[in-house]
Structure 1
Amino acid sequence: MNIKIREYQTADAAQAAEVWNQVVEDGLAFPQEENLTAETGDRFFREQTYTGIAINSEDNKIIGLYILHPNNVGRCGHICNASYAVRRDTRGQHIGEKLVLDCLAMAKEKGFRIMQFNAVVASNTHALHLYERIGFTKLGVIPGGFRMPDGHYEDIIPHYYIL
């Protein structure tokens, strides 16, 4: 698979929303519970500081994406946050790593100084291992910070990375 990451375009809305919704429906990583439509997705992806789209250049399908935006405002506006989504049938092929690395470079280009993840779910071991490998620092544990689809609560582990 040949992966290219580029900026989101409105024409990507339906495919990007489909990939995003797979993560929402899994209920294991994103706090959102509502699916995006092509219309609400387009608005959502365009309102971010940057939305990166991972394309399989062999068939031009969207296989992943990330959103990058400020984590806060004003005196904390130099800290950004991001979320990553990879199409279910392409997970395990290091697409997430490519997305995170591209996102960190883009965050720096956009003038951010720190990347902060507020809620990495403790059972999301693939993400935890990836962030550790890249050099993120864990901030601690928030007990029961994430409600799982079956209603039980799981710990979340905030992280940061100096850009």
Structure 2
Amino acid sequence: MRIREATSEDWAQIWPFLRDIVRAGDTYTWDRDVTEGRARELWMSTPPARTVVAVDGDTVLGTAKLARNHMGPGSHIANASFMVSPDHGGRGVGRALGGYVLDLARADGYRAMQFNAVVETNTRAVALWQSLGFEIIATLPEGFEHPAKGFVGLHIMYRKL
């Protein structure tokens, strides 16, 4: 597996699994019926933000987006989002992307990284981020409407770089 900057050509492989993950409605705070155009606009970042992909040969296994969490005086805190194709889950793609993005954020001069909305029932993601040094600093009770579990909490997770 190799991780590199995403190109516009990667979108054709990113969109199908991104669409399915968002439509499932159990991990992302995006509108479940997001259009391809809007999803591309949100995911395929422009500088200073970055989008990367994990690839095996020509196959995109997963993707991540790194950006400032806030503007101005808060721009030293990074934010990131991750999506791994369900066809390639459980193979360490998320962990590899997480480590890569943390290194990239550090190299870009960020002082910390904050995740604003980790769904508490997404226990695999919560465990992964905790294993990479993130801590839950707050939970917004009933901040997310899960399609099967109803209203569940949204964790805010933080890690100093």
**TM (normalized to structure 1)?**
0.89
Q: Secondary structure at the match of 2:121?
A: coil
Q: Is the 8 A contact 2:53 2:64 kept in 1?
A: yes
Structure 2, unaligned runs of 5 or more = none
Summarize the alignment of residues 17-36 of structure 1 with structure 2, pairs less than 5 Å apart: 17-33=15-31, 34-36=33-35
- What is the aligned partner in structure 1 of residue 56 from structure 2? 56
For residue 40 of structure 1, report the CA deviation from its aligned partner.
Answer: 4.3
Distance (whole Å) between structure 2 residues aligned to residue 108 and residue 153 of structure 1: 35
Q: Which amino acid aligns with 1:35?
A: V
- What is the aligned partner in structure 1 of residue 116 from structure 2? 118
Structure 1, unaligned runs of 5 or more = none
Q: Kindly tell me the number of residue pairs found equivalent between the two proteins.
A: 158
For residue 147 of structure 1, report the CA deviation from its aligned partner.
Answer: 1.3
Q: Secondary structure at the match of 1:17?
A: helix
Q: Is the 8 A contact 2:25 2:146 kept in 1?
A: yes
For residue 92 of structure 1, report the CA deviation from its aligned partner.
Answer: 1.2
For residue 98 of structure 1, report the CA deviation from its aligned partner.
Answer: 0.5
Residues 162/4 of structure 1: CA separation in 2 closer, same or farther (3 Å cut): same
Q: Is the 8 A contact 2:45 2:65 kept in 1?
A: no
For residue 86 of structure 1, report the CA deviation from its aligned partner.
Answer: 0.5
Identity fraction in percent = 30
Q: Is the 8 A contact 1:13 1:41 kept in 2?
A: no
Summarize the alignment of residues 81-100 of structure 1 with structure 2, pairs less than 5 Å apart: 81-100=79-98
Distance (whole Å) between structure 2 residues aligned to residue 148 and residue 161 of structure 1: 26
Q: Which amino acid aligns with 2:87?
A: D
**TM (normalized to structure 2)?**
0.90
